[in-house]
Structure 1
């Protein structure tokens, strides 16, 4: 039995009845969080290019693309959904896999379900199957994809998205394995956007979702893919992680016994995970001491070594973000905005916000020291040492980022985040409709009410 056939045997037969209560609940909440991020992107005018491109080459269908009034093909709806849901970098992450999980899996599953009229229970099972597979495929090579310039959300996410779409369509194990083999030839996404803050990163999630649906459609019509797509001598791990030992067999072996879906971390800030612990550490000092920007002489960040080249170097670029997306990967900017404005809301990453002279006056005062918080891949601990103008020096550290299993956000906090996000693009009634649907998937006869995402529009002026 190959890895893809083991995955296919698990995913093609998974039902809601087999899911532990916490797994079922987590899948619904992550779907809610993900869609809220996509609606917020519409509200803030982020990644409009993907909607315009899909509408220009419009292929009529019955699936809903977030923010577009046109019913689209499942492939186009998944593309738009994946890009929108990842556009703000506010969507969930699995720490050990170092990948954004739901932003590829959720749009693929929802688009497929609308196309064929699948039940909510089938969608819920598909979301769990897809999430578990993305996580296992990613964890087997944790950290190594980034070191080679690959973005795991794209290269890993396509396997989870394919499994999710195949489960929605009710594909047999044999067809699902072929779809995975096809998907392996479509896996892609490189990290070069870090060099100039360009917009390719969210495209990786959308393309993974879209390609997954294409792989499933072709498998349904008889296309075959290599059974050893993951572990073969010219397969996924051999080519993407050449020379690196992986334990994909161990990760895949206990599918259905060990559940990772509840361990997917929510993001409290719409920025790279490596920024979160230092920002929360600074916020704690500001609250405790009643500090303002005028009280701070300098800030030293305590940063995980793996995060330094992502959010702190090259220093010149990080001190003056060139684009709103660039700011999401600038720890000096995130700390400065937190200090000046007392928070880091989603609208902190807009063109007017990143040009704020009061914030840019603080960024040159930020430096860093490397500090190891955990040997676990994907650890996002961090802290700050703040020197004040009165001569005092204050420190605060967090071993884990907020939102993960070690420092969780409550369901109420996640739902509040969703409602804040969704209200940027939808009215209260539509926000409630999506909440009821996505957190109640197990009982939903179909996904017809999901079509309210077509009504998402910019509804408020973005404010810092």
Structure 2
């Protein structure tokens, strides 16, 4: 029996045709933390810690203050918390703004293509509203994130070129996964969880590639996390109210997979055979993941050739796959913080000058960095070119034309944070401490790390917000 035939064989449980959403609902509704492998629990806790650190780091951004002020003007019936605020907001707003805080610096993880920045803020907002426990939150986060990653894995290898479709992966699949986690926290039954995902798939924003990689301005950080998180909350609430959604939204001839890809693999959804959180893809650099391989290659060259040799070089060519070239190969210096975070030459120039990693301040203070003569000079000699050998954004190569005309070739490796070159637990914790520096003392940061390590023992989720309450008084 084929995979799709197996799906059809169990459709009798529903009066409607749930298609491939059925096994996702089976998974979410049947998830039991006691049967989740310890490595998954450990990596999930680290992802939660990492994501909260990114949220904390983004609270002070000017664009974060702008979205907060915009949502405050529309305040109606507050019911959930926002990090660093002493007032409560509608649950969709809390999900949306917390996710924006966490995505504004482009430092959040790449599990399932940015899943955590939607699934966790959405789940935290609903958990706050429902007074859910830490274990409930952990369970919802794992379910939502694994669902997103199953969807991503099912079609990504066959996705159509961005120039043909113009839809970035995270927006729609993040909404579906986050809706499942929210439905679980709201106590929806199996059918309700399925409908929440279907509604999420129907209401999701299209996450335009042009807004992500060209000029998304200050609304761009909403696309991967904030908008999916807010729509996921709405989707679960609609399902709780008895509304229904397009349950064949994935596999319909006019559905998501037909739109985004030339093929999809149902087995990746129905029985993937893996826990995707066991091999997380995290961000060492506060920039688009498409820039990380090239950035780390320049870090390696700085160490091997020396900063002066790179400063004296005539030209630096960074070879990348065709599908990422249009996204991050820029021929003008970045003009805004958002542009800086999707600008491979800028990130590579920082690395060539000895910056070990792209940090949030490199985007936030881009004008100050571009005022440096050495950075502008380095930026002027970097070009990004297509290499037909490469098929994944973790692949790259660099050719440096030295001052004497000799060429040095360097084959890149998977960047730090990739599954083949993972960030250790200590690295994730160090990143969290860096992101909350200035907000929490060293002792408070240590206590927060310890709390996340045992998050499932929390009676409710208020303790996750409390250490940041003093920020509102500033």
Q: Structure 1 CA distance, aligned partners of 2:466 and 2:447?
A: 8
In the TM superposition, what whole-angstrom CA distance separates every residue of 1:398-445 from its partner, at most 9, and x where no partner exists? 232221111111110111011101225444455344323333222222
Aligned length: 447
* Alpha-carbon distance in 2 for matches of 1:105, 1:296: 45
Of 176, 181, 196, the residue aligned with 1:159 is 176
Q: Report what 1:349 is aligned to.
A: 363
CA shift at 1:227, angstroms? 2.6
2:384 to 357, 368, 385: 368
| Cα gap change, 1:144 to 1:424, in 2 (>3 Å) | farther
Aligned to 1:107: 121
**Alignment partners' CA distance in 1, 2:267 and 2:219:** 32
- Secondary structure, counterpart of 1:245 in structure 2: coil
Return the TM-score normalized by structure 2.
0.88
Corresponding position: 1:136 with 2:150 = yes
Distance 1:290 1:89 in 2: 28
Q: What is the rounded CA distance, in whole Å, between the counterparts of 1:341 and 1:458 in structure 2?
A: 36
Residues 384 and 125 (structure 1), Cα distance of their counterparts in 2 relative to 1, 3 Å cut: same
**TM-fit CA distance, 1:139:** 2.1
- CA distances 1:14-42 after superposition (whole Å, capped 9, x unpaired): 12112101111111111111111111111
Matched, 1:339 2:352: yes
Shift of 1:87: 1.0
Relative to structure 1, the CA distance from residue 345 to residue 456 in structure 2 (aligned partners, 3 Å threshold; closer, same or farther) is farther
SS at match of 1:151: coil
The 5-angstrom pairing of residues 33-432 of structure 1 reads: 33-94=50-111, 99-142=113-156, 143-144=159-160, 146-147=162-163, 148-188=165-205, 189-193=207-211, 194-204=213-223, 205-238=225-258, 240-241=259-260, 244-247=262-265, 249-254=266-271, 257-292=273-308, 294-313=311-330, 315=331, 319-340=332-353, 342-343=355-356, 344-350=358-364, 351-358=366-373, 359-371=375-387, 375=391, 378-428=392-442, 430-432=444-446
Moved more, 350-359 or 451-460: 451-460
Contact 2:345 2:384 in 1 (8 A): no
Relative contact order, higher structure (CA 8 A, sep 6+): 1
The SS at the match of 1:199 is helix
Q: Check the 8 A contact 2:86/2:472 in 1, yes or no.
A: no
CA root-mean-square deviation: 2.4
Once the 2 structures are TM-superposed, how far is the Cα of residue 301 of structure 1 from its aligned partner?
0.8
Judged with a 3 Å threshold, the aligned counterparts in structure 2 of structure 1 residues 3 and 197 are, in CA distance, closer, same or farther, namely closer
- Secondary structure at the aligned position of 1:268 is classed as coil
Q: Could you tell me the TM-score, scaled by structure 1's length?
A: 0.89
Distance in 1 (CA, whole Å) between partners of 2:238 and 2:77 is 19
Change over 3 Å in CA distance of 1:447–1:5 after alignment to 2:
same
Deviation of the 1:259 alpha carbon: 0.8
1:457/1:44 CA distance change after superposition, 3 Å: farther
TM-aligned CA deviation for residue 127 of structure 1: 1.0
Q: How far off is 1:386 after superposition?
A: 2.0
Residue 64 of structure 1 contacts residue 454 of structure 1 at CA under 8 Å; is this kept in 2? no
In 2, the alpha carbon distance for the partners of 1:167 and 1:373 equals 44
Aligned partners of 1:187, 1:453: CA distance in 2, in Å? 33
